[in-house]
A and B are shown apart, each in its own frame.
Chain A
């Protein structure tokens, strides 16, 4: 540290004091920068919305991109899109960050012989690449993720035109086994579409369809519809999860059958045997051989359970069975998928809850082809490798030898938009546009064709991948160019929609005419249900879990996803291994955060454990997605260049093996686990999932629901108009008309305590949250972050408990135990039973009628307004934090630093919402019920001289929710959706109602449907 003398210090102080005086606040000069030419459609201050399509995963949900002054600032679901119907998952919400990501390549770059990079012009880069391709000829290969139909079509045409070796489509989470099973079972390729909305019995064989399945948002909506108890007469579908780990999807099930991983096919057969006996249709042969006792032993499931669930399955009218997804894709994944598909057929699901849609346009490759390409690279028979839309160096197991293979390719080209592991090894980087700058299209299912339209001008000197390839072809000479179309990728996209009204297509976000399902006949494919082989030895089976946030790791460079707690363990920013308490005991009494070494035949890692009973004793589960070496937020490196890993990459532990049909297998390895003798403090949002009887997340049984007695005692007290009349009942007596606010004192304004509002007031904004619909997916959390400019605090600050989420999802296991554990040691709640009772409680500011935060504020920075909002006035706040201390819900967040300004690398701040003040250091903040949206709706209503209609304004969280668990609106209007939803006499309750805070947020208790009865 340099010498620093007192005199220097005084000089500095003097100088800065002078500077402060000279540049007093009054002299602050801002510039008003007008347009040179103002686009017709832009009025500064008014948002424009454009329909587009999400490109974060192959589900291809419809988008409405909200733009302000030409910048996209928020992604919302397109209500007209048949897949997501207005909702958008966490990854989709956060994917806006890819457009403004600091790791974006700003121009083409070339690697110099000494390993450094230098920017080159596009012309130079295209000439370089076309020269290399001429040299390599058929030794040119493309490796990339799934593209839209138009891009795929022309990339394939390009491959032929330039005489390249071929293209391998590499999508790590592609449902390859299922795709193969459809071809095998139905004799023709097709896409299985599981429609849960009409089902009354759902069994998920570990596909985790609410997290990483083929269409999580759509399935979440369908599951909620199938289990909607508010609709009289609707069937409340039962949901059973079969799998070794109680995932987020499983936490929504009624029953968890913790079968040994790899035994799913056996369990399916056993269930079908009990359900149908000899009438098992196409499965009759296989079912005949099934011995329940043997299955029970192999799968480690009691015979009684199989019989009970099987019987219920047999009684179900419209059952649906979902084959395993990523985590349980074993070396027999194809057979398992075939078995489960056949079981669906046997149970009569075909045509009801399962339909086979025609295959989507576009090439698909199997994992085996990817591995073959890697072998070819190793053998030196690949001269030019063009990588696009994927990051194989991260997502292929090192056991495949991809890193060495890449080194053997003389010329590697990356078309990545953002720096990743693979692109950082490329000889030439030709950056693609970011998703929101591109044209394109995407097919969710045959006939559901979304269009991708750019919503901002490219920020950097980038070019669409297809345009780059076309330019390369043109540079290779007229004969090559003649085989390819003229014009740009944009015109090719437009041509793909020839025959439709192009402007209407753009306006609607695509053409949505789902193709009729295929008429299929059932073939009888070979099915082998023996237990799959696992590589290596060890006491544990390694399960690479696929969570709701990072997908295959592509989401790890999005700060909101890193800062969103894992929906199951609530850990943020880090990797962790889940083991059961019994396993932890065996390993020497491991506790939360103790570091273990995990070794498989393919590799070894060290990481902290999370001890939870929601995982089998012989299983160790590590989530996919972390462990990047490149990228802001994804790695510990700051500048996006190779650096320290954040967490571990579980793929490094997996051998490079396929299932019997050539699809990618993930359930592959046995693991040896040993304590590393260290402890790490994991950044975690919720230390204990035991609510210790505090009644934050309540549940009612089916019997209570039918009985009609308010199981959540005192739930429906005064604040709700619909029940205000009988506000004196039960425990809520005393919370009635005279509570808190007096109207008779002369100096106080009149207050209608029963309604928590000023008499005659037109609004009391309120919310109802249906915990029975909440799946815990955290889409709302990310939506809230982006809508409200909430700061990202980072891993270290999270450890200090300073994360800023205005809305968090608390995960509670059952009612909890009143007996406390020791200090600082979390009670490990018992999730291990077969009956699942996990409650996801969205916790946000309750805008209490009698808010404890308000009277303690010394400067009246928080107060109640006439519309029932608990206002938080940032410019008044002096940061005493009294309000946060007095808030029983802990939903007020304090800015310890000037987060948004100092920590957001350029150009991330471009996505700040201009309608929301960015809070500075020393200011308290909290959920505002998206008051900026209310204010905007109020302007529209005022212009038309009316009041705000129901449904006209909704919050960002409610907007994004796939299951519509959140309803927002005006409680004064007894006919509003929120008033109706919240007036459920049985399920409605207020969190911590005994404190008489009279919240405007009403929860609807989760429904405990209990275990399946035979």
Chain B
């Protein structure tokens, strides 16, 4: 099944996708602003641990630090999630809104600044992915009061983001893993949400 949606996302910036920039940027730039906390350094180290579950992202961004430690609301960065089908991935500009001020001593932030200086988007790797033939609507779920963690797991505790395992066993002992249709349907059943195929597939 081809993917009109990801074409849309992928092609916002023109025809050729941006070249990924190496995750380990040289730390030559002079640090600016106050020195970041040890917690931040630990989080960055954990997020760039190749052995930890999940994919190595272009920037070792720690959700545990931002959402857990600093308690930044999910929708501060992921704007539009309550309005649109798509969950907004924050623009580089939005990251720079804070990081122009601080964090400049950290490798990850320096990488971020490199993207910003080159005016290139950050090629994040998608972790939570439903196939293109699924028209998942974030706004509907946010408005129904479904917590982000219900599908995305305890993001505020994860340094390196990954898909948490959640397998439900159906009465006839068939497993249905997280983000698979049976798993979606199970929740829809429990909450008397629509189980019409056309709600998500068209």
The CB with the most chain B CB atoms within 10 A, among A34, A69, A866, is that of A34
Known: A37-B91, A68-B8, A939-B140. A917 touches B201 (CB 8 A): yes
The answer to whether A44 and B119 touch across the interface, beta carbons within 8 angstroms, is no
The answer to whether B4 and A33 touch across the interface, beta carbons within 8 angstroms, is no
Complex CA distance for A45 and B122, rounded to whole angstroms = 19
In the complex, 25 of the A-B residue pairs with CB atoms within 8 angstroms, ordered by the A residue number, are A29-B125, A30-B6, A30-B125, A31-B124, A33-B9, A33-B89, A33-B121, A34-B92, A36-B92, A44-B80, A45-B80, A70-B12, A71-B11, A863-B197, A865-B198, A867-B196, A871-B197, A873-B197, A874-B1, A910-B11, A916-B202, A918-B1, A918-B4, A935-B198, A939-B139
Q: Is B50's beta carbon under 8 Å from chain A? A: no
- The digit string for A488-518, where 1 denotes a CB below 8 A from any CB of B, is 0000000000000000000000000000000
Complex CA distance for A638 and B6, rounded to whole angstroms = 27
Q: A34-B121, A36-B116, A916-B4 are in contact. List 10 more A-B contacts (CB 8 A).
A: A28-B129, A31-B17, A31-B126, A33-B122, A35-B12, A36-B119, A46-B83, A459-B14, A874-B133, A943-B143
* Residues of chain B lying within 8 A (CB to CB) of residue A121: none
The answer to whether B80 and A32 touch across the interface, beta carbons within 8 angstroms, is no
The answer to whether A32 and B89 touch across the interface, beta carbons within 8 angstroms, is yes
Q: Is B32's beta carbon under 8 Å from chain A? A: no
Q: Which of A7-40 contact B (CB under 8 A)?
A: 28-38
- The digit string for A37-77, where 1 denotes a CB below 8 A from any CB of B, is 11000011110000000000000000000001111000000
Interface size, B (range) = 35 or more
Q: Is B3's beta carbon under 8 Å from chain A? A: yes
Complex CA distance for A212 and B196, rounded to whole angstroms = 45
Q: Which residue of A lies closest to B122 (CB)?
A: A34
- The digit string for B137-154, where 1 denotes a CB below 8 A from any CB of A, is 101100100000000000
Q: Is B5's beta carbon under 8 Å from chain A? A: yes
Q: Is B123's beta carbon under 8 Å from chain A? A: yes
Chain A nearest Cβ from B46, distance in angstroms: 21
Chain A nearest Cβ from B201, distance in angstroms: 5
Chain B nearest Cβ from A765, distance in angstroms: 11
Q: Which of B86-131 contact A (CB under 8 A)?
A: 86, 88-94, 115-116, 119-126, 129, 131
Q: Is A410's beta carbon under 8 Å from chain B? A: no
The answer to whether B125 and A43 touch across the interface, beta carbons within 8 angstroms, is no
The answer to whether B4 and A939 touch across the interface, beta carbons within 8 angstroms, is no
Q: Is A461's beta carbon under 8 Å from chain B? A: no
Which of A804-812, A900-908, A978-986 forms part of the interface with chain B?
A900-908
Complex CA distance for A932 and B5, rounded to whole angstroms = 13
Q: Is A875's beta carbon under 8 Å from chain B? A: yes
- The digit string for B154-192, where 1 denotes a CB below 8 A from any CB of A, is 000000000000000000000000000000000000000
Q: Is A912's beta carbon under 8 Å from chain B? A: yes
Q: Is B67's beta carbon under 8 Å from chain A? A: no
* A interface secondary structure, majority: loop
Among B15, B126, B202, point to the contact of A917 (Cβ < 8 A): B202
- The digit string for B10-31, where 1 denotes a CB below 8 A from any CB of A, is 1111110110000000000000
Chain A nearest Cβ from B138, distance in angstroms: 8
* Residues of chain B lying within 8 A (CB to CB) of residue A923: 1
Known: A44-B84, A865-B198, A935-B135. A34 touches B124 (CB 8 A): yes
Known: A30-B129, A916-B202. A875 touches B1 (CB 8 A): yes
Q: Is A1002's beta carbon under 8 Å from chain B? A: no
* Residues of chain B lying within 8 A (CB to CB) of residue A863: 197
The answer to whether A917 and B197 touch across the interface, beta carbons within 8 angstroms, is no
Complex CA distance for A524 and B175, rounded to whole angstroms = 89
* Residues of chain B lying within 8 A (CB to CB) of residue A31: 10, 17, 123-126
Known: A33-B121, A874-B201. A917 touches B133 (CB 8 A): yes
The answer to whether A38 and B94 touch across the interface, beta carbons within 8 angstroms, is yes
Q: Which residue of B lies closest to A899 (CB)?
A: B2
Known: A33-B121, A918-B2, A919-B1. A38 touches B91 (CB 8 A): yes
Q: Which residue of A lies closest to B120 (CB)?
A: A36
The answer to whether B7 and A912 touch across the interface, beta carbons within 8 angstroms, is yes
Q: Which of A871-924 contact B (CB under 8 A)?
A: 871, 873-876, 898, 900-901, 906-907, 909-910, 912-920, 923
Chain B nearest Cβ from A909, distance in angstroms: 6
The answer to whether B125 and A918 touch across the interface, beta carbons within 8 angstroms, is no
Q: Is A789's beta carbon under 8 Å from chain B? A: yes
Q: Is B55's beta carbon under 8 Å from chain A? A: yes
* Residues of chain B lying within 8 A (CB to CB) of residue A45: 80, 84-86
Q: Is A931's beta carbon under 8 Å from chain B? A: yes
Complex CA distance for A874 and B135, rounded to whole angstroms = 13
Among A459, A871, A917, point to the contact of B4 (Cβ < 8 A): A917
The answer to whether B201 and A920 touch across the interface, beta carbons within 8 angstroms, is no
Q: Is B69's beta carbon under 8 Å from chain A? A: no
* Residues of chain A lying within 8 A (CB to CB) of residue B42: none
Q: Which residue of A lies closest to B14 (CB)?
A: A459
Complex CA distance for A38 and B123, rounded to whole angstroms = 15
The 5 A-B residue pairs whose C-beta atoms are closest, nearest first, are A45-B86, A45-B84, A918-B2, A34-B89, A35-B91
Known: A898-B2, A931-B202. A866 touches B92 (CB 8 A): no
* Residues of chain B lying within 8 A (CB to CB) of residue A920: 1-2
Complex CA distance for A236 and B27, rounded to whole angstroms = 81
- The digit string for B62-85, where 1 denotes a CB below 8 A from any CB of A, is 000000000000000001100111
Complex CA distance for A910 and B196, rounded to whole angstroms = 30
Complex CA distance for A915 and B85, rounded to whole angstroms = 10
Q: Is A869's beta carbon under 8 Å from chain B? A: yes
Chain A nearest Cβ from B61, distance in angstroms: 12
- The digit string for A191-230, where 1 denotes a CB below 8 A from any CB of B, is 0000000000000000000000000000000000000000
Q: Is A626's beta carbon under 8 Å from chain B? A: no
Chain B nearest Cβ from A253, distance in angstroms: 40
* Residues of chain B lying within 8 A (CB to CB) of residue A931: 198, 202
Complex CA distance for A916 and B135, rounded to whole angstroms = 9
Q: Which residue of B lies closest to A37 (CB)?
A: B93
Chain B nearest Cβ from A874, distance in angstroms: 6
* Residues of chain B lying within 8 A (CB to CB) of residue A918: 1-4, 132
